Amino acid sequence: MTLTLDVGNSNITGGVFDDDTLILQFRQTTHKNSSSDEIGIFLRSVLRENNIPHEQISQIGICSVVPPINYSLSSAALKYFGIEPLFIQAGIKNGLKLKMQNPKEIGADLIADSIGAVSLCPNKNLIIVDLGTATTIHAVSKNKEYLGGSILPGLKISVQALASGTSKLPHVDIKKCSTACSTATIEAIQSGIFFGTAGGIKEICRSIKTEVFNSDDPAEMPFVIGTGGFAKIFEEYGIFDEIFPELTLIGVKKALELNRLNFE
């Protein structure tokens, strides 16, 4: 079995694969100062409570955008599973052609998302939108070329910025909204965050389509994928062609397959 971890600024999302089937998902708040023992005990307990013997884990892949926790993650994998984990980064085998000025700047999450998207939607031009702590929008060609993209504040950061940067605007829950013209402050913030994010995504996707995939052939138009914790609230808004909530974990699993010879 394979243990995969997607370590974001807000949450650690984990998944266990039995061959290609994702049989378990779990989530934990990210604590940058977590020790290796705290992480290892948590992972072992999650597996135990879900009737998965930790001895059955044969490989571990980690996608982390939180460098301060990486040493503890690596130490936990070695101490509690006896496995050296694979960290997703530009230098590993990823099956992509990284068309960036400095490939080392590409986030591990963007690489994992791209690997996962290419495996799920082969031979297609792709735009991948990941709505997490930040909202990332990036393009991958049907020839597996990572072409770059845009980064904008995530929904949670936007809510926090309004609350902390103003005297009277409160923190609000993030939710799907049906109207933009709201008659109460809380609903006005929620609609502004919802429609502002939706509009930003649609405009960036439109611009990427024109800049990168400009073609009169409908077959060349990019397939737009949504993923990340907040993607589902836009499910009926017409932004995405398909939503893959587990895209990053799938990408980590595929990266392990590409690099398997290095760990055998």
- Residues with a catalytic annotation lie at 109
| Rg of the chain on CA atoms, in Å | 19
Q: Which of 241, 13, 220 has its CA nearest to residue 112? A: 13
Q: Which of 207, 220, 217 has its CA nearest to residue 142? A: 220
Side chain identity, residue 74:
S
CB-CB contact of 111 with 88 (8 Å):
yes
CB-CB contact of 140 with 92 (8 Å):
no
- Name, in order, each residue with C-beta under 8 angstroms of 170's C-beta and a sequence gap of 6 or more: 163, 185, 186, 189
- For residue 75, what are its two tokens? 């130490």
Distance CA 21, CA 247 (A): 13
3-state secondary structure of 231: helix
